[in-house]
């Protein structure tokens, strides 16, 4: 079981706020298990909460008036990316320091303070169903998953950007290397507009990438060629952490921003309220024969999986099937030279995929149907006494089915590989 985490000691950082221009300081302090993440400002406790978002113009603000904290997304992204569950953030002004416009200053603070495991189980959230939000051009969508995967795309009518797209599975190391260094950005023609509405007072070429019509004014600031879509993922991570726990889902974002991100977080919060929390079980999960039979409707003589290990919820699994010498199909295939029919190998792979999906509580009561199969290759025969190792991965998840890739092995020898599609329908 993964444990909750906090930091080992106090650590502080001072600087200037991006939008307020205020001189500001923050101090990270350890917090007890189940305390969550919270700010202390003028002696008042402010808890990041999707329902307390008061502004999403070029940043996410939580709270109201004097009891508000602006531009919290980079800070929250650092906490979720580094696996911090419980921490107190003392803040002296209305906004955290912007640093270089990325989450790296906060990552370095966490590393300087040190990370401590606590005696409480980590709490995750996974959606109970497909959840989506769209508004004008922006669209964000979440599918249940046992991992945190983001597919983000941005599109601008600008010769230097046009379109950027990134698909990435994020863990702590990936976050530090691929997402945390991505810096905030704006177009130079926006600066006057932002200043007119009282924003970007602390902005400079040292804390934001500024894009001009013919070039980037401070290209030396950039870490990645696709920096802008990576920063969008950084913002998304921070905004979704407004539900108070890390998310396990496959997220798709098209032209997303703080408004669509926080709207999705609010839908997550509503889902938590309705389903009782949506806590993700710990994986890998072992299912013996009885566990397999409780997940799928198949029964002997047409059950071709003895056990399944689900390595990632709704993503990957490994099944096992001992091919017994007295199997009924060997009487005709073939009496003189018994060989497991290839179609039954593909059926065993499909059943393993069904166990993977139908083990989810919210998908119980569904019936799986084999809809298509592609790119099938049989590498060697499977004989009585062999044990099939059945590896499947869902490569295109859908609420009513999907597409999977499967490989069957005997020992280390690949005996079959294929891709197949399936549909899940209500039993009624």
pLDDT of 1 reads: 63
Cα 409 to Cα 79, 259, 333, 376: the distances in Å are 41, 48, 20, 14
Does residue 158 carry a catalytic annotation? no
Domains annotated for the chain, with CATH where assigned, are: 3-275 (3.30.1700.10), 285-426 (3.10.129.10)
pLDDT of 424 reads: 80
> Residue 130's closest CA among 285, 355, 257, 314?
314
Identify whether the C-beta of residue 66 lies closer than 8 Å to the C-beta of residue 175: no
pLDDT of 158 reads: 87
Identify whether the C-beta of residue 354 lies closer than 8 Å to the C-beta of residue 295: yes
pLDDT of 423 reads: 84
| Residues pairing with 15 in the sheet | 24
Q: Which of 19, 74, 231, 258 is catalytic?
A: 258
User: CA 84, 87, 93 angle in degrees (round to 5)?
Assistant: 120
Within 35-95, strands assigned E span: 37-41, 44-46, 53-55, 61-64, 67-69, 87-91
pLDDT of 361 reads: 59
pLDDT of 291 reads: 81
Q: Could you tell me the pTM of the whole model?
A: 0.69
Q: What are the tens digits of pLDDT across the range 293-345?
A: 878 889 999 999 999 999 876 689 999 999 999 999 999 999 899 999 999 99
Does residue 298 carry a catalytic annotation? no
CA gap 342, 304 in Å, rounded = 12
CA gap 414, 428 in Å, rounded = 39
> Residue 9's closest CA among 67, 87, 83?
87
pLDDT of 363 reads: 66
Q: Name every residue whose Cβ is closer than 8 Å to that of residue 108 and which is 6 or more positions away in sequence.
A: none
The residues of the chain scoring below 50 in pLDDT are: none
φ/ψ of 274, rounded to 5, equals -80, -30
């Amino acid at each position: 079981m993964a444990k909750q985490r906090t930091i080992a000691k106090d650590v502080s950082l001072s600087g200037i706020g991006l939008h307020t221009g205020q001189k500001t300081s923050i101090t990270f302090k350890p917090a007890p298990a189940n305390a969550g993440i919270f700010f202390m400002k003028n002696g008042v406790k402010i808890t990041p909460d999707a329902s307390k978002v008061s502004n999403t113009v070029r940043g996410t603000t939580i709270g109201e008036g004097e009891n508000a904290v602006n531009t919290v997304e980079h800070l929250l992204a650092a906490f979720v990316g580094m696996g911090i569950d419980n921490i107190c953030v003392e803040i002296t002004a209305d906004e955290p320091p912007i640093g270089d416009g990325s989450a790296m200053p906060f990552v370095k603070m966490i590393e300087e303070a040190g990370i401590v495991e606590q005696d409480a189980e980590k709490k995750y959230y996974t959606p109970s169903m497909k959840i989506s939000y769209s508004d004008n051009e922006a669209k964000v969508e979440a599918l249940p998953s046992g991992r945190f995967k983001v597919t983000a795309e941005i599109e601008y009518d600008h010769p230097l950007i046009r379109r950027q797209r990134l698909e990435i599975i994020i863990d702590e190391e990936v976050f530090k290397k691929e997402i945390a260094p991505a810096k905030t950005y704006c177009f130079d023609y926006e600066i006057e507009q932002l200043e007119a509405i009282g924003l970007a007072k602390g902005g400079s070429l040292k804390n934001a990438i500024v894009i001009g019509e013919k070039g980037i004014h401070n290209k030396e600031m950039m870490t990645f060629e696709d920096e802008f879509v990576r920063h969008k993922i950084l913002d998304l991570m921070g905004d979704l952490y407004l539900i108070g726990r890390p998310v396990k889902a496959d997220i798709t974002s098209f032209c997303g921003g703080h408004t669509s991100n926080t709207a999705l977080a609010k839908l997550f919060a509503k889902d938590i309220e309705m389903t009782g929390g949506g806590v993700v079980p710990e994986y890998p999960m072992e299912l013996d024969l009885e566990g397999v039979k409780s997940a799928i409707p198949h029964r002997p003589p047409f059950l071709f999986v003895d056990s399944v290990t689900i390595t990632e919820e709704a993503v990957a699994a490994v099944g096992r099937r001992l091919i017994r010498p007295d199997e009924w199909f060997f009487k005709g295939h073939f009496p003189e030279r018994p060989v497991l029919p290839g179609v039954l190998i593909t059926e065993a792979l499909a059943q393993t995929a069904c166990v993977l999906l139908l083990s989810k509580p919210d998908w119980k009561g569904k019936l799986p149907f084999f809809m298509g199969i592609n790119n099938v290759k049989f590498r060697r025969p499977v004989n009585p006494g062999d044990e099939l190792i059945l590896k499947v991965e869902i490569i295109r998840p859908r609420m009513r089915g999907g597409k999977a890739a499967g490989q069957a092995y005997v020992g280390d020898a690949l005996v079959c590989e294929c891709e197949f599609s399936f549909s899940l329908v209500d039993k009624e």
